[in-house]
């Protein structure tokens, strides 16, 4: 086996390295900077060049080497390379070749281009380890153009009513993707500290983002009535929100596809926007690899593996500890003015969202 599934994570014996391990290990290959994939405490890290600044920002002083997309590095008997996964800026699928046999670990991925992340590229392989957070045919994402229209429309309506729009988005990836969709002609764009810190890191590596104003003490909020505020989902409904006066709240997440979840979260609006692949995306990505063996992790693994089996794949399930797209609010309210580094950490209830 090119890869094995161990307690600490997905392991490659030929390279003596783990991919996105969830227990501390000597050598970690990291697909992207979200905190359920890039954890603290490993001896050394290898990631893409574009993922490095965010990882340093979140994990501090770590031993981190980088590799450009597509370039092959020899580790032990394995040939390792990173390929765009389209999930967030710097995210990668990891290709590992040992004695002519190729395995690919997808990490988290999205097949539709969002204008921000490096676009997903299918990688031919014998075995593909695919996430399936949204691996049911009920998940079907709208286009970026439709999302832009919906979010800007909501913002304009909210502003016309004299209210402020507050949209819950994750600090890395989703927030910047929304920023690129917003029409700055409508009004000012404000950001929560956790998001602004990530914006600064991405701007520093040359990613163009519209102007934003960090919500900080001293900011004249009365003058910002009618603004769009981007905040981590955990800030919605918290004391931090009170400073904005009358607001309309929104959440941008793939889970907003379901009316029941929208109602349960109690936000005024739900936008179906995910950094993971929808049903059609997962199926197309898997077909494009040409793999015969597919292991599915995280999400609706049992039905998705059965479906793949019926499509002629040799399909298996791998138990992982990735959080994917967190469905629920963390139980603890965040400290509003602190950079909440772990804001992508999923709450316990969403650790395993398989039904």
Which residues contact another protein by CB under 8 A?
136-140, 257-264, 266-269, 300, 303, 306-307, 310, 327-328, 331, 347-349, 351-355
Pick between residue 292 and residue 333 the one whose CB is nearest to another protein: 333
Pick between residue 81 and residue 353 the one whose CB is nearest to another protein: 353
Least Cβ distance, residue 328 to another protein (angstroms): 6
Pick between residue 131 and residue 196 the one whose CB is nearest to another protein: 131
Least Cβ distance, residue 173 to another protein (angstroms): 23
Least Cβ distance, residue 258 to another protein (angstroms): 6
Least Cβ distance, residue 353 to another protein (angstroms): 8
Extract the tokens encoding 46. 């290898």
Least Cβ distance, residue 11 to another protein (angstroms): 23
Euclidean distance between CA atoms 184 and 188, whole angstroms: 7
Least Cβ distance, residue 209 to another protein (angstroms): 28
Pick between residue 19 and residue 305 the one whose CB is nearest to another protein: 305
Pick between residue 240 and residue 300 the one whose CB is nearest to another protein: 300
Least Cβ distance, residue 135 to another protein (angstroms): 10
Extract the tokens encoding 48. 């893409």
Report whether 190 contacts 41 (CB < 8 A): no
Pick between residue 18 and residue 300 the one whose CB is nearest to another protein: 300
Whether the CA torsion 325, 331, 337, 338 is positive or negative: it is negative
Least Cβ distance, residue 126 to another protein (angstroms): 26
Pick between residue 101 and residue 140 the one whose CB is nearest to another protein: 140
């Amino acid at each position: 086996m090119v890869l094995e599934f161990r307690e600490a994570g997905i392991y490659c014996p030929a390279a003596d390295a783990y991919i996105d391990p969830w227990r501390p290990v000597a050598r970690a290959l990291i697909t992207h900077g979200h905190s359920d994939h890039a954890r603290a405490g490993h001896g050394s890290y290898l990631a893409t060049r574009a993922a490095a600044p965010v990882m340093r920002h979140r994990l501090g002083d770590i031993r981190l080497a980088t590799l450009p997309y597509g370039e092959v590095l020899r580790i032990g008997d394995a040939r390792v390379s990173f390929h765009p996964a389209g999930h967030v800026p710097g995210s990668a699928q990891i290709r590992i070749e040992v004695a002519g046999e190729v395995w690919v670990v997808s990490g988290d991925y999205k097949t539709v281009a969002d204008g921000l992340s490096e676009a997903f590229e299918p990688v031919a392989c014998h075995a593909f380890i695919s996430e399936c957070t949204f691996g049911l045919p009920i998940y079907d994402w709208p286009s970026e153009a439709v999302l832009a229209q919906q979010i800007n429309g909501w913002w304009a309506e909210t502003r016309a009513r004299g209210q402020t729009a507050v949209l819950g988005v994750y600090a890395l990836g989703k927030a910047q993707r929304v920023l690129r969709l917003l029409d700055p002609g409508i009004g000012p764009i404000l950001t929560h500290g956790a998001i602004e810190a990530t914006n600064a890191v991405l701007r520093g590596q040359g990613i163009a983002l519209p102007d934003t104003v960090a919500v900080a003490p001293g900011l004249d909020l009365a003058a910002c009535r009618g603004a769009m505020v981007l905040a981590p989902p955990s800030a919605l409904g918290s004391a931090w929100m009170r400073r904005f006066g009358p607001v309309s709240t929104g959440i941008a997440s793939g889970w907003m596809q379901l009316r029941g979840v929208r109602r349960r979260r109690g936000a005024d609006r739900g936008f179906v926007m995910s950094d993971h692949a929808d049903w059609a995306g997962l199926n197309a990505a898997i077909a494009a690899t040409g793999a015969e063996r597919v292991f599915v992790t995280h999400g609706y693994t049992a039905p998705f593996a059965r479906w793949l089996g019926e499509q002629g794949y040799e399909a298996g399930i791998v138990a992982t500890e990735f959080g994917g797209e967190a469905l629920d609010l963390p139980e603890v309210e965040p400290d509003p003015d602190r950079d909440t580094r772990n804001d992508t950490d999923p709450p316990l209830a969403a650790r395993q969202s398989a039904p």
